[in-house]
């Protein structure tokens, strides 16, 4: 069996979030080098693939589910992934994106794009996905296998999670992670 | 010399003065039972239910903060059932209002956040309520954000029992219960408030905070209130 | 009024009272509790007052409280001097003239009489009214009062609540006098302890122990509180007790005050009870005026102050610590116990709180003693309890029964069961903190312990009876919504836990819940129960936990099938009729399409929902009739016969039929290449094959007979369903592309395992062709024949010989069909049925038709043996007369043999006692059977058997049923098989959009229900021609106009 065949197929996804969790992933420093030998990154902001691939072993999802596009992508991810991991507070709790949830979508958009601007007021209608009523954590839409909270999660926590998973264990995060 | 009584807590023999609660007895034995409404120096109310313990021979769970320790009791502070219930309570509190730790003045210094971490809560299984709550910024030095309030009533008690002002109380009922200043006035208008800030110091979350604090900057000094109570005496 | 401070003044008051209670003129007492007043008693009272004065009659007219029979209000008691007291019911102001005329003539208006009372045990005294009126039943002879024991309600509805002398006349305040004279408080407490009187507020704590604690508490100030904050939905016993008999409460509390050493008593009454508050206030003033309350009571030196506080309406203030906070002027939020009120209660002083009803038990125990009290009720829970029996029972009201009485006595004997044609589902006891007890547990004795074991509570005594129209998920949701809004918000489990419970329950009622939600709901409910601070939170999850425990199926229906069988959850049903239809036909749609004169569209709509519309239009059991909301106006819409009309019209118009069929085929999906074998061409198999074919699959039916139709062809006689009509319908199914293989027996000609190799899925739908045999001496005689082979032989036009006199045993459709068939063959027919008419499973119209044609039905007759002659031929049948005994688990009264034997001469006996499926071939193929061994086991929702891709439906999984149920299974199976084969949900794609009016009528149309026309009984009984004629076009149109359009949704 070739070395490439045993590499785990890993994807990372960026939904409604700030990319901070991806930054934290890159911040695991030298652990990246170790990981590189054991995983193959098949999808995400860090690679070129356009279509979410089939048969992914682990997908790390950053960000809340805020739009129809987010929801569709997440459902596809769930179907094609063995382990789905909610990475960071937005994916785990809704976090900052969910702060809009107290307002009706229409009112919120108007306050930003009409009351909030002086030139060319108007809510953009084309080229943007329609927003869901609430920005919500992943597990309100699909089954999630592991939650790694934090804003962002500490690099050590991410490294720990990936290492444990690659070693075939379910990581116990008690005392290792926190909200915020 | 007060009467001393003996009881077992998690198998360990503990001797305390008669009249102590189980919570106090455990504390005396160096065991920390979690609790968010309980605070040394304030009268116990048994509201958060996090401090429940099991008692040998009793089917019901008992709140340790209001149950007096008695001679010969055998108390269990940790069990699978208690642990699972405590997690549920913390998750319910997180889902009830809008606790966005990342943007909170009390981030990293919050008792609710710390307890969630300690109990291994990595996510909330319940549906977030996303109710809108007001923020009262009318006081010159302090701010009250109802979104972060867990209605533990520590502020109500410290103000009534220690400061003697009774500025705070709770209005409404059920999920509509809300901290209220005097007879539902804005805090800045409150004539009975002495501005002592005790309420802010005892608040376990970022609901009551000093103005001017940015994220993570609000560090509470709740222990100084407990010490003050001790100095004044009369409080167990 | 004069002060009463010695024996002679006490006796004087009693004499004065007796003179009022039993005057030497007629006395008329109008029941004027809130319940009576709400039913018009005020007008009745004024009519009496006006006429008595106007006519100068000089009768005594008083207002009393309520005697308990709420469904019979307004109640009026009439007593002529020396005669029994007669309770008149449903009295209207317009009846008053006639009543007074009767009384003036020395008569009693017997037609208004509910019952009479000749003597009455007031417990504290005894009253003899007189004996007479043999035609009027005694009060405890009528079903509602039978078995009741009026201890707490001893004076209710009999004496005037506003007159202290009447109260003294029936032994009132004697207990207080006795206690004060004896001056031995410990002995009284001992008596209460011995009597094991338990708190009637719900928890059932021993009152004597509480009093003892209170007595021992050292304090200069002690409080006694009466908790009259009755807030449970559907409970009103305390209201009635206070409104009808306030003095008993005052006396009980004063005794309590003396023996516990309390100095002050407080009545905490909910403000929503203005009449109770008013009467209690008046009673307090009267008692104070007589020296029975206040300073130096009865001249014995004891002082007790009693005051009243009106509660502002928070449910949680019924919890004792919250009630105390409320009395202190604080927010009504509970505080943890310890400290208990007896140690530290109101204003920090020792306090004792008892429920209203507990106080009513005090005087009787003092007068009659603890042993007497223990004679009633169960060992652990002596005495009686008042319940408010409400909900779907026929007789509602306040019912006082000994504790430990089985639940079924309440529901069936006292309440009279539910309306005919309905069945009881459950009883909810204890209000929002109680639980739901299912019908099969009605043997449960009602006492504190047993109810707790079932997850419910006694509570204050609410008892809500529910029938099949109540959705248990919605019931749980309703009560959680109540406790959620009444939660004080202090502790997290109750405040936030109930909020999450309610969210989840709402998801269930909207059909959005998941399996995980059911687990979470159960988990969170246990947590709330175990973790909450006070009784409200600890018991609030009971309705949820008990419904999950006893009615889990209903939760699963809501989440897996998205169905609410009761039709309560609106998001899950189009309309009540659609919801009740096993085929879930869009009934309002075909009614509206026909109303818009679009017969072709209506026909297409019907056959898309149901491929056998003319057959089901004739023989369906029509459950839709039972659910139709039009029945609330006059009668249900005759939906079954309208869809028969639509089908018959289409069959009579070839061009229309052809167009509709072309449109049907246009709906058919492209061929999928999948093949499904269907075993059995009965209604189930036909329906399944039809839909599979429309979905693009190749559907092949294997049938042992030479033609399709199953029971429709071989068991239903021609006069109910003409075979040419059936043939036309099978044409629809063939037209949809279904293929048939006739004369082929699976298990003999072709093996199941072979089919499995050839087809992608197999659907088993075999009917109940095997007659159940009863053990009866004489069944071996010549002339004894089972019903189905008999009907089948007639249908196949094989030679059948029946004798001159035929006896049919059974009460189902097969029995009636056999009887009517035998009549047509020229026999004289008698049907023996062991229960009552209303218990017959047969369609009522069929039974009536059989009788009209000359069949004789003998009810309450259980066959005992068949008597033969010397040649071994049937000569007669003997039956044992039965009488109705206890209610069984089906909610019907069990027939009990009386020993009286009746004999019928006959030469043929048809056994129609039930049918089963011949399962031999199934057993051979290794499919799993249900525990009973008579039916096949399938997943309730997917209908898949223990073997993958093998599905089953109809009689095979339910036992003998009816056409529509059978077809419903076929339809459902097709949907599930398609979903499995295609791995997607395509079902909804079958239905084209029909545009039709979406508005409900402003007023119900005036026309009444049109019943289908029948051929004259004398004519039809001689032939096998169809016995019913269907609706005329005008009648059908009028029926469509009668529909109230429950399917129309306004806005979103």
Rounded CA-CA distance C257/C222 in Å is 9
Residue C493 to residue B126, Cβ atoms within 8 A: no
3-state secondary structure of B189: helix
Residue B58's domain comprises 4-78
Residues B118 and B61 in one domain: no
For B124, which of A93, A151, A172 is closest by C-beta distance? A93
Rounded CA-CA distance A15/A12 in Å is 10
User: Does some domain include residue B87?
Assistant: no
Residue that is last in its domain, among B49, B78, B107 = B78
Indicate whether B234 pLDDT > 60.
no
Our count of domains for chain A comes to 1
Contacts of C438 (CB under 8 A, 6+ apart): C425, C426, C550, C551
Rounded CA-CA distance C1037/C592 in Å is 10
Residues B40 and B103 in one domain: no
pLDDT at A157: 95
Q: Which two tokens stand for residue A152?
A: 């962002």
Q: Which two tokens stand for residue C852?
A: 């009209």
Q: Give the distance from CA C822 to its chain's centroid.
A: 38
* B128 interfacial to chain A (CB closer than 8 Å): yes
* B84 interfacial to chain A (CB closer than 8 Å): no
Residues of chain B neighbouring C322 (CB-CB closer than 8 A): none
Residues of chain A neighbouring B148 (CB-CB closer than 8 A): none
Indicate whether A1 pLDDT > 50.
no
Contacts of C1020 (CB under 8 A, 6+ apart): C719, C853, C1014, C1027
Our count of domains for chain B comes to 2
Indicate whether A2 pLDDT > 50.
no
CATH superfamily of C173-374: NADH-ubiquinone oxidoreductase 51kDa subunit (3.40.50.11540)
8 A C-beta contact, residue C986 and residue C674:
no
* B62 interfacial to chain C (CB closer than 8 Å): no
8 A C-beta contact, residue C1010 and residue C1031:
yes
Residues of chain B neighbouring A103 (CB-CB closer than 8 A): 132
Beta bridge partners of C702: C679, C741
CATH superfamily of C770-915: FAD/NAD(P)-binding domain (3.50.50.60)
Beta bridge partners of C310: C269
8 A C-beta contact, residue C36 and residue C25:
no
* Residue that has been written with the tokens 């860090």 in this structure: A46
Q: Which residue spans of chain C are classified as CATH 3.10.20.600?
A: 384-560
Residue A70's domain comprises 3-99+134-166
Contacts of A1 (CB under 8 A, 6+ apart): none
Residues B124 and B51 in one domain: no
Q: Give the mutation candidate from C313, C330, C432, C496 for the B interface (greatest B CB count, under 10 A).
A: C496
Mean pLDDT (whole number) for C935-945: 90
8 A C-beta contact, residue C896 and residue C747:
no
Pairing of the two strands B74-76 and C675-679: unpaired
8 A C-beta contact, residue C124 and residue C99:
no
pLDDT at C917: 79
Dihedral sign computed on CA atoms, order C1019, C1025, C1030, C1034: negative
Adjacency order of strands within the sheet including B135-136: B135-136, B142-145, B208-210
Query: What residue spans of C551-682 are helical by DSSP H?
Result: 552-556, 576-580, 587-595, 599-609, 613-619, 624-627, 639-651, 654-667
Reported residue count of chain B is: 236
Residues of chain B neighbouring A140 (CB-CB closer than 8 A): 127
Phi (first) and psi of residue C221, to 5 degrees = -130, 125
User: Does some domain include residue B132?
Assistant: yes
Percent of chain C at pLDDT above 90?
82
C7-161 fold: Glutaredoxin (3.40.30)
* B214 interfacial to chain A (CB closer than 8 Å): no
Phi (first) and psi of residue C396, to 5 degrees = -110, 165
Residue B66 to residue C336, Cβ atoms within 8 A: yes
Q: What is the pLDDT of residues C167-221, one digit of tens each?
A: 999 999 999 999 999 999 999 999 999 999 999 987 889 999 999 999 999 999 9
Q: Which residue spans of chain C are classified as CATH 3.50.50.60?
A: 670-769+917-985, 770-915
Residues B106 and B73 in one domain: no
Indicate whether A153 pLDDT > 90.
yes
Rounded CA-CA distance C11/A97 in Å is 82
Rounded CA-CA distance A40/A35 in Å is 9
Residue B95 to residue C530, Cβ atoms within 8 A: no
Q: List chains touching C (3+ CB pairs under 8 A).
A: B
Percent of chain C at pLDDT above 70?
99
Residue B127 to residue C524, Cβ atoms within 8 A: no
Residues B72 and B153 in one domain: no
pLDDT at B72: 95
Q: What is the pLDDT of residues C987-1029, one digit of tens each?
A: 999 988 899 999 999 999 999 999 988 999 989 998 999 999 9
Mean pLDDT (whole number) for C241-257: 97
* A143, B122, C41, C398, C415 from C36: Cα distances, Å: 58, 59, 5, 13, 19
| Minimal C-alpha gap between C632 and chain B (Å) | 38
User: Does some domain include residue B85?
Assistant: no
In the CATH scheme, what is the code of domain C384-560? Answer: 3.10.20.600
pLDDT bracket for residue C1052 (50, 70, 90):
very low
**ipTM rounded to 2 decimals:** 0.97
DSSP-assigned letters across all residues of B97-151: TT--GGG-TTTTS-HHHHHHHHTT--S--SPP------EE--SSSEEEEGGG---
For B85, which of C490, C491, C530 is closest by C-beta distance? C530
* A178 interfacial to chain B (CB closer than 8 Å): yes
Q: What is the pLDDT of residues A23-70, one digit of tens each?
A: 999 999 888 898 889 999 999 998 888 899 999 999 999 999 999 999
pLDDT at A4: 46
Element spanning C544, H or E: helix C542-550
pLDDT at C138: 96
Residues B30 and B116 in one domain: no
* B117 interfacial to chain A (CB closer than 8 Å): yes
pLDDT at C471: 96
| Minimal C-alpha gap between C139 and chain B (Å) | 46
Contacts of B194 (CB under 8 A, 6+ apart): B163, B165
The CATH code of the domain that includes A56 is 3.40.50.700
Rounded CA-CA distance C656/C646 in Å is 11
Q: What is the pLDDT of residues C874-910, one digit of tens each?
A: 999 999 999 888 877 777 788 888 989 999 999 999 9
| Minimal C-alpha gap between B126 and chain A (Å) | 9
pLDDT bracket for residue C957 (50, 70, 90):
confident
pLDDT at A127: 85
Phi (first) and psi of residue A10, to 5 degrees = -120, 140
Q: Which residue spans of chain C are classified as CATH 1.10.1060?
A: 576-664+994-1042
For C524, which of B46, B60, B88 is closest by C-beta distance? B88
Residues of chain B neighbouring A178 (CB-CB closer than 8 A): 101, 108, 113-114, 116-117
* A98 interfacial to chain B (CB closer than 8 Å): yes
Residue B61 to residue C492, Cβ atoms within 8 A: no
For B116, which of A98, A148, A179 is closest by C-beta distance? A179
* Residue that has been written with the tokens 């954590």 in this structure: A137
8 A C-beta contact, residue B169 and residue B53:
no
Closest alpha carbon to C149 in C376, C303, C327: C376
Residue B92 to residue C493, Cβ atoms within 8 A: yes
Q: Which residue spans of chain C are classified as CATH 3.40.50.11540?
A: 173-374
Residues of chain B neighbouring A89 (CB-CB closer than 8 A): 101-102
Q: Which two tokens stand for residue A118?
A: 């002086």
Residue C336 to residue B176, Cβ atoms within 8 A: no
Mean pLDDT (whole number) for B214-218: 96
* C345, C696, C974 from C669: Cα distances, Å: 75, 5, 14
Contacts of C933 (CB under 8 A, 6+ apart): none
Strand positions, DSSP E, C759-906: 761-764, 770-771, 784-786, 805-809, 828-832, 856-858, 861-868, 874-887, 893-905
Query: Which of B146-150, C276-280, C457-461, C622-626 has the least mean pLDDT?
Result: C457-461
Strand positions, DSSP E, C827-985: 828-832, 856-858, 861-868, 874-887, 893-905, 908-911, 915-916, 950-952
Chain B and chain C share a number of CB contacts under 8 A equal to 101
Query: Which of A100-109, B148-157, C703-712, C765-774 has the least mean pLDDT?
Result: C765-774
C576-664+994-1042 fold: Fumarate Reductase Iron-sulfur Protein; Chain B, domain 2 (1.10.1060)
Residues B129 and B164 in one domain: yes
Residues B159 and B194 in one domain: yes
DSSP-assigned letters across all residues of C296-313: EETTTTEEEEEEEEEE-S
Residue A151 to residue B117, Cβ atoms within 8 A: no
Contacts of C808 (CB under 8 A, 6+ apart): C787, C815, C818, C819, C822, C829, C830, C831, C832, C909, C910, C912
Q: What is the pLDDT of residues B9-49, one digit of tens each?
A: 999 999 999 999 999 999 999 999 999 999 999 999 999 99
User: Does some domain include residue A129?
Assistant: no
Strand positions, DSSP E, C765-892: 770-771, 784-786, 805-809, 828-832, 856-858, 861-868, 874-887
Residue that is last in its domain, among B50, B78, B106 = B78
Q: Could you give the dihedral angle defined by the CA atoms of residues C965, C967, C970 and C976, in that order, rounded to the nearest 10 degrees? A: -70
pLDDT at C769: 76
Q: What is the pLDDT of residues A115-137, one digit of tens each?
A: 989 888 999 888 889 999 999 99
Residues B115 and B70 in one domain: no
Phi (first) and psi of residue C943, to 5 degrees = 65, 15
The CATH code of the domain that includes B145 is 3.30.70.20
Q: Which two tokens stand for residue B22?
A: 């189980």
**Beta-carbon neighbour count of residue C998 at 10 Å?**
12
């Amino acid at each position: 069996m070739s070395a490439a065949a045993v590499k785990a197929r890993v994807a990372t996804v960026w939904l409604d979030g700030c990319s901070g969790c991806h930054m934290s992933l890159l911040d695991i420093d030298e652990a990246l080098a170790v990981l590189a030998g054991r995983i193959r990154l098949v999808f995400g902001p860090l690679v070129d693939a356009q279509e979410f691939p089939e048969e992914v072993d682990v997908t790390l999802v950053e960000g809340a589910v805020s739009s129809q596009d987010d929801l569709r992508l997440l459902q596809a991810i769930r179907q094609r992934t063995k382990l789905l991991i909610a990475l960071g507070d937005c994916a785990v709790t809704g976090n900052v994106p969910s702060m809009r949830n107290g307002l009706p979508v229409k009112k919120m958009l108007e306050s930003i794009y009409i009351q909030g601007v002086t030139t060319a007021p108007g809510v953009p209608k084309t080229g943007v996905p329609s927003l869901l009523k609430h920005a919500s954590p992943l597990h309100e839409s699909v089954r999630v296998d592991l939650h790694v909270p934090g804003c962002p999660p500490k690099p050590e926590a991410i490294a720990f999670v990936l290492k444990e998973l690659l070693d075939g264990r379910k990581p116990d995060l008690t005392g290792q992670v926190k909200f915020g | 010399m007060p009467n001393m009584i003996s009881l077992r807590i998690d198998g360990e023999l503990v001797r305390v003065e008669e009249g102590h609660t189980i919570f106090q007895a455990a504390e005396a034995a160096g065991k920390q039972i979690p609790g968010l409404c309980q605070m040394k120096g304030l009268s116990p109310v048994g509201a958060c239910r996090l401090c429940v313990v099991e008692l040998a021979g009793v089917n019901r769970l008992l709140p340790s903060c209001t149950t007096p320790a008695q001679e010969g009791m055998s108390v269990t502070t940790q069990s699978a059932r208690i642990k699972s219930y405590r997690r549920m309570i913390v998750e319910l509190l997180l889902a009830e209002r809008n606790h966005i730790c990342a943007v909170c003045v009390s981030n990293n210094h919050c008792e609710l956040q710390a307890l969630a971490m300690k109990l291994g809560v990595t996510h909330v299984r319940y549906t977030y309520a996303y109710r809108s709550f007001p923020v009262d910024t009318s006081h010159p030095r302090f701010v009250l954000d109802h979104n972060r309030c867990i209605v533990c009533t520590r502020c109500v008690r410290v103000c009534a029992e220690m400061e003697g002002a009774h500025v705070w109380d709770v209005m409404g009922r059920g999920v509509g219960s809300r901290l209220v200043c005097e007879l539902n006035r804005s805090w800045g208008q409150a004539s009975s408030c002495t501005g002592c800030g005790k309420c802010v110091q005892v608040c376990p979350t970022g609901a009551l905070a000093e103005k001017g604090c940015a994220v993570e900057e609000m560090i509470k000094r709740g222990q100084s209130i407990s010490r003050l109570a001790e100095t004044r005496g009369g409080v167990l | 009024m004069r002060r009463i401070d010695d024996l002679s003044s006490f006796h004087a008051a009693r004499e004065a009272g007796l003179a009022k209670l039993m005057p030497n003129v007629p006395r008329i007492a109008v029941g004027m509790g809130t319940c009576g007043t709400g039913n018009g008693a005020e007008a009745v009272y004024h009519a009496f007052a006006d006429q008595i004065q106007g006519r100068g009659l000089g009768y005594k007219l008083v207002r009393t409280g309520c005697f308990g029979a709420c469904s019979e209000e307004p109640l009026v008691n009439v007593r002529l001097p020396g005669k029994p007291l007669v309770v008149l019911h449903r009295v209207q102001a317009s009846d008053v003239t006639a009543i007074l005329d009767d009384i003036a003539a020395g008569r009693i208006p017997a037609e208004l009489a509910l019952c009479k009372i000749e003597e009455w045990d007031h417990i504290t005294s005894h009253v003899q009214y007189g004996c007479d009126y043999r035609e009027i039943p005694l009060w405890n002879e009528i079903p509602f009062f039978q078995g009741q024991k009026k201890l707490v309600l001893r004076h209710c509805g009999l004496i005037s609540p506003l007159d202290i002398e009447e109260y003294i006349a029936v032994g009132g305040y004697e207990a207080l006098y006795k206690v004060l004279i004896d001056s031995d408080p410990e002995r009284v407490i001992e008596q209460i302890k011995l009597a094991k009187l338990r708190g009637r507020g719900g928890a059932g704590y021993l009152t004597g122990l509480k009093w003892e604690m209170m007595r021992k508490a050292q304090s200069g100030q002690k409080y006694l509180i009466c908790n009259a904050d009755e807030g449970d939905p559907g409970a009103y016993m305390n209201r009635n007790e206070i409104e009808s008999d306030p003095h008993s409460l005052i006396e009980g509390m004063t005794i309590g005050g003396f023996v516990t050493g309390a100095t002050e008593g407080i009545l905490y009454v909910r403000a929503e009870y203005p009449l109770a508050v008013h009467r209690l206030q008046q009673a307090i003033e009267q008692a104070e005026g007589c020296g029975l309350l206040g300073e130096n009571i009865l001249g014995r030196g004891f002082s007790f102050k009693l005051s009243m506080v009106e509660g502002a309406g928070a449910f949680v203030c019924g919890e004792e610590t919250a009630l105390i906070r409320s009395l202190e002027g604080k927010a009504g939020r509970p505080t943890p116990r310890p400290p208990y009120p007896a140690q530290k209660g109101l204003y920090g002083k020792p306090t004792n709180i008892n429920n209203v009803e507990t106080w009513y038990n005090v005087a009787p125990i003092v007068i009659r003693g603890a042993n007497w009290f223990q004679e009633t009720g169960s060992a652990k829970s002596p005495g009686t309890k008042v319940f408010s029996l409400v909900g779907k029972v026929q007789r509602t009201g306040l019912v006082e029964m000994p504790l430990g009485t089985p639940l079924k006595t309440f529901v069936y004997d006292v309440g009279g069961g539910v309306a005919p044609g309905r069945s009881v589902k459950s009883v909810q006891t204890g209000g929002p903190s109680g639980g739901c007890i299912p019908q099969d547990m009605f043997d449960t004795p009602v006492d504190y312990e047993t109810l707790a074991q079932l997850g419910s509570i006694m509570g204050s005594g609410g008892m809500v009876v529910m029938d099949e129209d109540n959705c248990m998920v919605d019931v749980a949701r309703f009560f959680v919504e109540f406790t959620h809004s009444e939660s004080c918000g202090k502790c997290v489990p109750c405040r936030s836990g109930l909020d999450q419970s309610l969210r989840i329950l709402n998801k269930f009622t909207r059909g959005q819940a998941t399996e995980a939600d059911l687990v979470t709901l159960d988990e969170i409910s246990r947590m709330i129960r175990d973790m909450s601070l006070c009784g409200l939170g600890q018991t609030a999850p009971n309705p949820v936990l008990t419904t999950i425990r006893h009615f889990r199926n209903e939760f699963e229906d809501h989440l897996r099938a998205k169905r609410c069988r009761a039709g309560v959850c609106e998001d899950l049903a189009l309309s009540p009729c659609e919801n009740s239809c096993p085929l879930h036909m869009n009934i309002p749609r075909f009614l509206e399409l026909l109303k818009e004169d679009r017969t072709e569209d209506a026909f297409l709509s019907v056959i898309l929902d149901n491929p056998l519309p003319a057959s089901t239009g004739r023989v369906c059991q029509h459950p839709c009739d039972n659910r139709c909301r039009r029945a609330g106006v006059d009668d249900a819409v005759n939906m079954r016969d309208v869809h028969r009309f639509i089908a018959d019209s289409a069959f009579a118009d070839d061009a229309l039929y052809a167009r509709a069929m072309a449109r049907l085929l246009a709906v058919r999906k492209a061929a999928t290449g999948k093949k499904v074998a269907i075993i059995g061409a009965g209604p189930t198999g036909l329906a399944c094959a039809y839909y599979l074919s429309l979905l693009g699959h190749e559907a092949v039916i294997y049938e042992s007979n030479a033609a399709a139709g199953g029971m429709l062809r071989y068991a239903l006689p021609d006069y109910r369903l003409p075979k040419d009509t059936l043939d036309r319908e099978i044409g629809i199914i063939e037209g949809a592309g279904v293929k048939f293989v006739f004369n082929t027996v699976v298990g003999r000609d072709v093996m199941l395992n072979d089919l499995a190799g050839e087809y992608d899925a197999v659907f088993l739908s075999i009917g109940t062709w095997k007659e159940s045999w009863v053990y009866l001496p004489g069944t071996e005689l010549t002339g004894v024949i089972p019903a189905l082979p008999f009907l089948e032989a007639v249908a196949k036009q094989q030679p059948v010989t029946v004798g001159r006199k035929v006896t049919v045993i059974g009460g189902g459709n097969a029995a009636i069909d056999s009887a009517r068939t035998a009549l047509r063959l020229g026999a004289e027919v008698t049907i023996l049925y062991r229960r009552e008419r209303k218990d017959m499973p047969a369609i009522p119209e069929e039974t009536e038709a059989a009788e009209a044609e000359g069949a004789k039905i003998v009810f309450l007759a259980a066959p005992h043996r068949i008597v033969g002659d010397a040649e071994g031929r049937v000569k007669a049948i003997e039956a044992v007369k039965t009488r109705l005994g206890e209610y069984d688990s089906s909610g019907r009264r069990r027939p009990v043999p009386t020993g009286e034997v009746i004999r019928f001469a006959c030469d043929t006996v048809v056994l129609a006692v039930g049918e089963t499926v011949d399962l031999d071939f199934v057993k051979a193929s290794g499919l799993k059977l249900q525990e009973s061994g008579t039916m096949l086991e399938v997943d309730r929702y997917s209908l898949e058997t223990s073997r993958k891709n093998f599905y089953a439906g109809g009689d095979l999984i339910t036992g003998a049923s009816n056409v529509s149920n059978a077809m419903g299974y076929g339809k459902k199976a097709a949907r599930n098989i398609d979903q499995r084969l295609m791995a997607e949900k395509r079902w909804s794609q079958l239905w084209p959009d029909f545009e039709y009016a979406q508005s409900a009528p402003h007023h119900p149309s005036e026309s009444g229900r049109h019943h289908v026309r029948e051929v004259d009984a004398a004519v039809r009984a001689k032939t096998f021609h169809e016995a019913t004629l269907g609706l005329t076009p005008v009648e059908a149109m009028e029926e469509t106009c009668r529909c109230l359009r429950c399917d129309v949704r306004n806005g979103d």
